[in-house]
Structure 1
Amino acid sequence: MLTRRRLIAISAAMALVPAQGRAAPRIWTGQALGARASIRLDHPQADVIARRVLAEIDRLEGILSLYRADSALARLNRDGRLDAPPFELLDCLSIAGAVHHASGGRFDPTVQPIWALWAEAAAAGGRPGAAALAAALAQTGWNRVRLDPTRITLAPGMALTLNGIAQGYVADRVAALLKAEGLGEILIDTGELRALGGAPGGGDWPVQLAGGGSLRLRDRALATSAPLGTCFDGAGLDGHILDPFTGTPAAAAWHQISISAPTAVLADALSTAACLLPDEAGIHALIARFADVRAEAMRRAG
């Protein structure tokens, strides 16, 4: 995205230990996923666990990030193939492929050449020309990606982006790590929310929706996407969610859409895909193809 997430927040408490029996929580602040990060842990080995969390986020960035020249994704885009790909990259791309199919191709990780074209044109103060846009569109198409446990191959000129799914994937992986450490009251915010268990002291995690309203999360994830939430241009007209069929920013039918799901990676991808659908019926048809997914808020533009 043109601007990175401003805050990553992770809160977790030791499972099955009453709050009155815990020491004061340790709070760590710093950087993770290119954003300001806060980790709050109620655990006697909080410092050690925080370091493991940060190491895991760093490891996943080294696989999934477009912003690291040496990441597995960046090397795949540069070379057009990646031998012995990391499991996490294959896993993330497999989920992306499932959402691509379910959305009729609207969720498409191959839009990176179009995204780069829009970013370059915006930096020069304009928009892509028709010829350049047609050329970039010709370099897309999920059916031209070959996934195999031994190799990922792209057609010439192609490049992938995981910006619509990677942060949810990271949230799920961090949740799994913390659960394995014996932590049970967990809320992770990487831009997408992932809750395991309820809030310390009882009850579910209270969450405020970006567009107004609230809900409560327990063992569930929530993602919110907004077509104009991040824009290429200073005027805020050309949003970052691109229509893979036209190569242009999504028509601003929606101000924002919030989707909840059992995993953050699925909520993340589906909320992005939903922004490219014209009506509520289409969104409900999309999420009905996945188990236990709900549209929590659909706010139209205007």
Structure 2
Amino acid sequence: MRALTRRRFLSISAAAVVAGSPAGAAPVRQFHGTALGAKATITLAHPDAAAIARRAFAEIDRLEDIFSLYRAGSALSRLNRTGRLSAPSFELLECLGLCATVHRATGGLFDPTIQPLWDLHARSYAAGAAPNAAEVEAARARTGWQRVRMSPGDVTLEPEMALTLNGIAQGYIADRVAAMLRAEGLREVLVKTGEHHAVGGDWPVTLVTDESRPHGRVDLRDRALATSAPLGTVFDREGTIGHILDPRTGAPAAAKWRSISITATNAAFADALSTALVLMDREAASGALASFADAKLVAAVPGIANT
């Protein structure tokens, strides 16, 4: 199966500097890698910046061994293959707990059990056509967050189910890396793992549409930012069928929004909320955000259905 098409411009980019750095201070440096297939960067000014970045990327790699769908030996891949994972890690259980919170707050629109639907669409479009209605309904029958069971001893799925944490894990990884660096005494770092988490500093992040048109700026200090764009990744060669699926229908998100950007103290919540909110109208989105005291909608770029 060929890889999904990725549009040239993603929905967010950052040009960040540490504001007010004194003369003679260490220069701001940026280190690059990947996290769950997304470009990852660690930006900081510190005499030991290279060593700090190596530790950060080692932590990202460790967390990929839990959350990646593309590493056959990851905890998530093993759970999906067998339907049961014994002695799950703290990180997996914590992330699943966050999923449950956002699932409730969004009326089920954030649903990590859509992986069978995602696989169906990816395979079908790779073969050159959309899945038919019967195939979609068969895949939907294998979904449902209420059918996931988790405890400190194990996580279990019902037969033929599978999870994807792609709508939250990039944010969760950003949170974990930021917490690690904060615990080491770092006070000015910007972590980007597909989503952003700022430790201290004054970090200006420019919001950009998929055509690379700026449409706003967010200044981050000890805060996280996440953006979801339905057409950021697409199933079809023409770039018109987005990757965010509506669990109510099994279909790709309607064109309500081109992108949604959320800030919060927690990048995992911002990540999951932005994913779900692209499926909502403004009233429903406001209701979902009301469940999270520190979450804020900072940008909503209308799609065709809202113009």
TM-score scaled to structure 2, two decimals? 0.88
Secondary structure at 2:95 match in 1 = helix
Query: 1:39: Cα distance to partner?
Result: 3.6
Structure 2 portions without partners, runs of 5+: 210-214
Contact 1:8 1:36 in 2 (8 A): no
CA distance in 2 between counterparts of 1:237 and 1:31 reads: 26
Structure 1 portions without partners, runs of 5+: 199-203
Q: Hey, what does 2:212 align to over in structure 1? A: none
CA distance in 1 between counterparts of 2:177 and 2:290 reads: 27
Q: Hey, what does 1:153 align to over in structure 2? A: 156
Q: 1:109 aligns with which of 108, 112, 115?
A: 112
Matched, 1:291 2:293: yes
Secondary structure at 2:227 match in 1 = strand
Of stretches 69-78 and 125-134 in structure 1, the one that deviates more from structure 2 is 125-134
Structure 1 128/227 Cα, relative in aligned 2: closer, same or farther at 3 Å?
Answer: same
Q: How does 1:174-213 map to 2 (within 5 A)?
A: 174-198=177-201, 204-211=202-209, 212-213=215-216
Q: Hey, what does 1:301 align to over in structure 2? A: 303
CA distance in 2 between counterparts of 1:147 and 1:218 reads: 34
CA distance in 2 between counterparts of 1:8 and 1:28 reads: 15
Secondary structure at 1:121 match in 2 = helix
Query: 1:135: Cα distance to partner?
Result: 1.1
Secondary structure at 1:269 match in 2 = helix
The alignment covers a number of residue pairs equal to 293
Contact 2:246 2:252 in 1 (8 A): yes
Structure 1 190/298 Cα, relative in aligned 2: closer, same or farther at 3 Å?
Answer: same
Of stretches 52-61 and 229-238 in structure 1, the one that deviates more from structure 2 is 229-238
Query: 1:245: Cα distance to partner?
Result: 1.3
State the one-letter code of the partner of 1:89: L
Query: 1:22: Cα distance to partner?
Result: 3.0
State the one-letter code of the partner of 1:183: L
Contact 2:117 2:250 in 1 (8 A): yes
Q: Hey, what does 1:100 align to over in structure 2? A: 103
Matched, 1:224 2:227: yes
Matched, 1:81 2:84: yes
Matched, 1:59 2:62: yes
Contact 2:190 2:197 in 1 (8 A): yes
Structure 1 3/96 Cα, relative in aligned 2: closer, same or farther at 3 Å?
Answer: farther
Contact 1:8 1:37 in 2 (8 A): no
Q: Hey, what does 1:272 align to over in structure 2? A: 275
Q: 2:262 aligns with which of 259, 262, 272?
A: 259
CA distance in 1 between counterparts of 2:94 and 2:47 reads: 33
Q: Hey, what does 2:284 align to over in structure 1? A: 282
Structure 1 32/286 Cα, relative in aligned 2: closer, same or farther at 3 Å?
Answer: closer
State the one-letter code of the partner of 2:4: L
CA distance in 2 between counterparts of 1:52 and 1:94 reads: 26
State the one-letter code of the partner of 1:208: T
Query: 1:64: Cα distance to partner?
Result: 0.5
Q: How does 1:212-251 map to 2 (within 5 A)?
A: 212-251=215-254
Query: 1:24: Cα distance to partner?
Result: 4.0
Query: 1:19: Cα distance to partner?
Result: 3.3
State the one-letter code of the partner of 1:298: A
Query: 1:268: Cα distance to partner?
Result: 0.3
Matched, 1:127 2:130: yes
CA distance in 1 between counterparts of 2:267 and 2:77 reads: 23
Secondary structure at 2:121 match in 1 = helix
Of stretches 279-288 and 25-34 in structure 1, the one that deviates more from structure 2 is 25-34
Structure 1 189/155 Cα, relative in aligned 2: closer, same or farther at 3 Å?
Answer: same
Secondary structure at 1:101 match in 2 = helix
Structure 1 82/181 Cα, relative in aligned 2: closer, same or farther at 3 Å?
Answer: same
- C-alpha RMSD over aligned residues: 2.4
Secondary structure at 1:69 match in 2 = coil
Secondary structure at 1:20 match in 2 = coil
Secondary structure at 2:187 match in 1 = strand
Matched, 1:162 2:160: no
Query: 1:296: Cα distance to partner?
Result: 0.6
Percent of residue pairs bearing the same amino acid type: 59
1:55-107 residue CA offsets vs partner (Å, 9 max, x unmatched)? 10000000011010000000000010000001111111110111001111000
Q: 1:137 aligns with which of 127, 137, 140?
A: 140
- Higher RCO structure (Cα 8 Å, ≥6 apart): 2
State the one-letter code of the partner of 1:205: W
